[in-house]
Structures are given as C-alpha cells and as structure tokens.
Structure 1
C-alpha cells in the first residue's frame, strides 16, 4: 500500500461525526454526559491536544453541548489551539473544577468519566457527584476509537512508511564500533527530516546479547561484527503512531540465529493467517505459541520462547486496545489495527522480534508494511 503524496489529517467533519456517534451511544446506554480529560480521547473527539497536569483541562459532552473545562489563566492559550467550536468555561485557582463539571450535568443523569484521567480527578468528582452516578467511560470511548476510519488508516500508513524508510537508513549506517546511542540519534534526526516534527516517539537499538532484553538495556553498547541487531522505533503523524521492529545480522548469520529467525517469521505469519473478522484476539496469540511449541520452545511464557503477548493495538496511543493476548475474547472487526510481534527470547544469547502492523479490512488482514525477507535482509 502506498502513502499519499501529502500528509493526511483528520478533518473537522470527521470529528463532528465522531461526536454524533458518541452521542448516539450515550443515549443508547442512558448516559447524560461524558467527561474527557487531557487525554488522547480529548484530541480524538475535539481536536484539542493538551498535556495532563495537576489542573483539570478537558471537556464535557452532553446530548447537545460541547463545553471545555479550562483553568482561567489558560483560556487565552486554548483559544489559539485547534479545537471544535464549543463554549469555554473557566475555573480559577481557588475554585473546584469538579464543582464546575457537576454543574453541567443534566439533573440526575450519569457521568461517564474518561478512564485515562488521573485518580485525583475522580476523587474530586465524588465530592460533588454521588459515586453511583459516576461510571467508567473507558468502554464507551475506547470502544469507538477501536475501529479506525479510512482517514485514520491513511495517517497510520503514512507514518509507517516513514518509519520503514528510517529503518532502511539505520540498517545502512550500522558499522563496527558504532554506538547504539549514535544510531538512536540518527533515527530521531531522520524521523524529523522526513516529516515527523517531534522525531522518534521511542527507539530501542540493541546489539548482541542485549537483544534478549525485550525493551533494551541501560548503558552504552557498541556494535561488533557478528552481533545480532535489533531496532524498534516509531513516530507520530497528526497524533497517530507507527511502530516497526527489525532484527537481523549484517554478516553471514549463525545457524542458531537463522533457525530462530525462521521460527519467528513462521509465528508472525501464523498470527496474520489467524486474523479473520470475528476471530478472537486470544486466538491469534494462541496461533503464535502453537508454532513455538511445535519447534520445542515455551510453552506458555517460558524461555526460551515468547515472554509476552503477541501484539497490541495502535492508533493515538502506541499501545492501546485491542491487545493480542491469551484469553482475550475481543473479536476482530474491520478497522482494528494492531502489532504482530511474537518475540522469541533465548536468555544469554539473543532475542529476535519482527514487528509489523496489521489492519483489519472487510476481506481480512492487510499489512501496513511487508514483513522482513530474511535473517540478513530485513526488508521485503
């Protein structure tokens, strides 16, 4: 799949449609209002992006109104930022933001609280709204964000293509003696150069035995001939994440590495093949582990084997629902996007993770980026 020639963005009409869909679901569930904090859901529904702090800044959505809850001294800044039209109500430093939220609730109705707000926000709300009227807004908000629209898919594709190109460039610049920190810095610079204004959202570069640590090691590393290389990185475009991992050897691969690489790729393909509309997320994790067990690895989370879930959802958060994890009964639907990364760890030797993102279409799974070709050929 090719990316558009210009960076796609979420339009105002799409955000308005999101609000309409949310209100329909609120009505169906008897919910009078939703409180959004300074979370990804605030950006998703209103376009307003704000970092969380000890002061509540968010929005209350009712059946007819969108009201922003803003600290008084931040109003002028909020007015300069992109957001859907809505009334701005402020609270001053000596006032209670929770009291202001409570005053906006329709009489006797339930308030669905954004599940990503800090706990202190919830405790403050309980002082003004009875606990039986406060409900978990996570299923409502995340349930809608779970299925990506064509516009969201296009942005993720753009970000994935960008990060894949950065991965190619990083592969080409690794040489004996280079520091992992230099590769991390290079990847950040390339993300910025290619259009991700904030650079890398994360970056793991590991050499040799440290590749067996799934999220990398502290301290500096230097590449030596014969080392296994693991590079896991991503960026954000209009808020949406990319995430790609490649593990390879630059020299002729050892027999052990080539063998485990083939098993890893087989497990990754098994996850893809199991991804069908209506299949449970847990069944995909099962498919990966079945491959490993067949080859004498595991079982369960035992090492050598797969020490964690086989994947995670991706969108406005780098890790979000749906999670490709044992026991999950979440059924795959069109528009869901998730990573496919059944890592194999051999303690004291190396770890091998191949990670690409899948999107679910009406006809089944589709890759955002094609899987790696071979143990010394990380790109299709």
Structure 2
C-alpha cells in the first residue's frame, strides 16, 4: 500500500519527469469516474443474529478451553463480534466477552453515545472518567461475571498497556492468547460474509476494467491511483488501497521511493482492493502499455501457471503451507530462488482475507493449519527480477466442500490482463 503522504510528492516528481521527457499527462488521469454507477445486487449487511451466533461460538470455544473471558480492543474483531466501529487511542475502549452471559463494553464516559451508534448486539456498557483506571472496570466485569479466577484471553492485537493493566488490576488472573478463540471464529466465513467479499471483488474487477485501458505513458502512480480510487467509490466500494508500481519498481513487491512514470514497453503492476460492509477484496493485475516483450510474456505465463498450481493444491484437509511449497517447487525448477531468494517469489503465495486485508492463516511454508470450507485466501505467487521488472497476478478464492472457488477469474495472458 502506498502511504498517502507520498502521493503528492510522487505526483509532483512524476509531473516534472513527464515534462522533462516532453510528455503531457493525460486529462483522464484526473477525470472523475462520472460514467460509473454502483454495481447492482449489493448483499445485505451482517445481521445482529449472525453476530450473536459468532459470540456464542466464541463462548463455546472458551468453555472448551477453560477460558473465562476474551478481551478485544478496536479493530476488525470488535466489528466482527459487536458491530462497533471504533479507532484505537490512548483511551481504552474494549469489549469483554465472557464464557457465559452477555458481552460488556468499557469506554470513556463521553464516548458511550458514539459507541452505541454501531453496537448491534445486547451488551452492557460501563463507562470510566478521565481520572479513573479503565482496567479496574474490566476486572470488575470479570468478577461480576464470575470468571475472575479463570484465564483471560487477549485478542492478538490487544496492546501491552491493556494486558499489563489488567494483570495489575486482577493479579490472580492468568493472561492467555486469544488467537485460538478468535481465529476459530473468523477464519471460516459464512455465506453472508462470502457474498460481501464477492461483491467487493466484483467492484474491484469493474474498476480495473475502467482504469487499465486509460493508463498511458506519462502517468505517475498517483495519477493511476486517483483513477482507481474514484472508480471503486463510484461503483459502490470503500477504497482500501491502490498500489501502483511502474518499470523497475514493479520488482519490489510493496513499492519504491524512486520516481516513476508509465512508459511504453514497461511493466505496470497494480495491487488494489476495496471493502463492502467492511469485507475486503484484493486483486493484482500486471500489464504493459504499448505491448510486452518476449521476456515479459514469459514471466507472466510462469506466474499464471504458478497461480494455477496454487489453486489446484488448495484441497480440503491439506496443510496451508503445502500450497506455497508446490508453487515454490515449480519456480525452483525454472531456476528461480531457491526458497524466497531473488529473482523469484520473495513472499508467501497467499494470505487469509476477510474483514482484514491480511488475516490468518497464510499460504506460507511451514503453516500446518488444514484447509477447511469457508476459508478465504489470496493467490499471488509473483515473480520479481530486481533491476528489471516484476509480475504479480492476484486473485482470491474461498474453500468449498468440493475445493477452491475463485472470487475473480485470473487472466491467461499479459495481452488480456483483465481476465
């Protein structure tokens, strides 16, 4: 993802470079997506009943593990269980899900009305004033729920000050990892979640169809990003990220600080995603304005086959890491690597996706978690040749009882990069 603060700088650098080269930036780079409209068929939001079922599942997992409660700070897991959309700050807002009974939310007194605006499940709200310790409030909730002597699980993104503060407020409690509970719920998506992810992907594919034909020599990454973000919004998505890499920068998977301008015969690599009701898409496309070279075509074909190998390797019950292993074995047979070395596939083959763009588990060597129906992954076995170019084709899939199913159709050739 390109850091927003770098976009203005990159636009200025690219504009200067284009002017020096005698190129005029196309007006399309700044044009709004006025010819686009929201895609029809937007799925409904996750219902309160489904969120309550998630809480009930978490409680079953806690009871089975002998855990008394789960503590969650703002982020995707808070949204997942309660609907509450909140940002992290130095003032603690947290959800306590006990192994039995209703959830409780701790938040500053003056924030409670705002927290209630997105809360969609029954939950007690306890507030604290600026001169009070919110972790003592959490400890009181655990005592009232009768679980103060049982292990308290921390969602993996809970900050140290919160876990440490609770340990001080409740010295007899044992703090344990909450990942087995949270992952046990979030890793397997429901049909409603998959429908939202499908719609987000449909929007991103439609945005690519709008943008890719408009990318022309002289454009900067910021110009293309602006077009892509506008298209995602016009089509009904919430823009999450638009990474655009050009020329030699495409060999660096997450970008370069060097100025970039689109040129005929050079690779443009786009990695973009949006969200619908918080559920994300993640799609990468690689193309060459003006036509690709023989070497660019060759690498693209190799990546396309690598993506096919990953898809075929994703079978119910297979350890997630074996998907990465099979792709890497093929690439090494071509002379890439070994392992994660350049030139080659320098990152994992894929990652989990849902409310977070990257979430457990990953398609990476050594990951033993077995694939199960409802799991969702990116499939992006890119090849990167430092100093030259990189190719990434990325499409996401979800596991069904019969095997993997694409959210989007992968392209076959670099001449038809939209699939």
- TM superposition score category, shorter chain reference: over 0.9
Q: Which runs of 4+ in 1 moved over 3 A?
A: none
Residues 201-240 of structure 1 aligned to structure 2 (within 5 Å): 201-240=240-279
Q: Is this contact kept in 2: 1:180–1:220, CA < 8 A?
A: no
Show the counterpart of 1:313: 352
Separation in structure 1 between the aligned mates of residue 88 and residue 168 of structure 2, nearest angstrom: 21
SS for the counterpart of 1:322 is: strand
| Deviation, structure 1 residue 4 | 6.8
User: Which of 46, 49, 54 does residue 10 from structure 1 map onto?
Assistant: 46
Separation in structure 2 between the aligned mates of residue 33 and residue 369 of structure 1, nearest angstrom: 39
SS for the counterpart of 2:68 is: strand
Separation in structure 2 between the aligned mates of residue 346 and residue 288 of structure 1, nearest angstrom: 17
Separation in structure 2 between the aligned mates of residue 257 and residue 37 of structure 1, nearest angstrom: 45
- Residue 326 in 1 paired to residue 362 in 2? no
Show the counterpart of 1:55: 91
Separation in structure 1 between the aligned mates of residue 88 and residue 40 of structure 2, nearest angstrom: 32
Separation in structure 2 between the aligned mates of residue 74 and residue 362 of structure 1, nearest angstrom: 44
| Deviation, structure 1 residue 300 | 0.6
Q: Is this contact kept in 2: 1:274–1:284, CA < 8 A?
A: yes
Show the counterpart of 2:82: 46
TM-score, normalising length: structure 2: 0.87
Residues 67-86 of structure 1 aligned to structure 2 (within 5 Å): 67-86=104-123
Task: Count residues in correspondence.
Answer: 376
Separation in structure 2 between the aligned mates of residue 129 and residue 288 of structure 1, nearest angstrom: 48
Show the counterpart of 2:176: 135
Show the counterpart of 2:25: none
Q: Give a deviation string over 1:274-321, Cα, whole Å, max 9, x none.
A: 000001111000111111112111111111111111110000111111
Q: Is this contact kept in 2: 1:311–1:340, CA < 8 A?
A: yes
Separation in structure 1 between the aligned mates of residue 48 and residue 324 of structure 2, nearest angstrom: 37
Show the counterpart of 2:65: 29
Residues 147-162 of structure 1 aligned to structure 2 (within 5 Å): 147-162=188-203
| Deviation, structure 1 residue 184 | 0.5
| Deviation, structure 1 residue 219 | 4.9
Q: Give a deviation string over 1:184-208, Cα, whole Å, max 9, x none.
A: 0111111111112x4x211111111
| Deviation, structure 1 residue 130 | 2.8
Separation in structure 1 between the aligned mates of residue 391 and residue 367 of structure 2, nearest angstrom: 24
User: Which of 257, 261, 286 does residue 300 from structure 2 map onto?
Assistant: 261
SS for the counterpart of 1:178 is: coil
Separation in structure 2 between the aligned mates of residue 324 and residue 6 of structure 1, nearest angstrom: 29
Q: Is this contact kept in 1: 2:266–2:292, CA < 8 A?
A: no
SS for the counterpart of 2:244 is: strand
Residues 245-256 of structure 1 aligned to structure 2 (within 5 Å): 245-256=284-295
Separation in structure 2 between the aligned mates of residue 279 and residue 272 of structure 1, nearest angstrom: 12
Show the counterpart of 1:102: 139
SS for the counterpart of 1:127 is: helix
Show the counterpart of 1:377: 416
Q: Is this contact kept in 1: 2:217–2:263, CA < 8 A?
A: yes
Separation in structure 2 between the aligned mates of residue 185 and residue 131 of structure 1, nearest angstrom: 53
Gaps of 5+ in 1: none
TM-score, normalising length: structure 1: 0.96
The structure showing larger relative contact order (alpha-carbon pairs under 8 Å, at least 6 residues apart) is 2
User: Which of 383, 389, 394 does residue 350 from structure 1 map onto?
Assistant: 389
Q: Is this contact kept in 2: 1:336–1:360, CA < 8 A?
A: yes
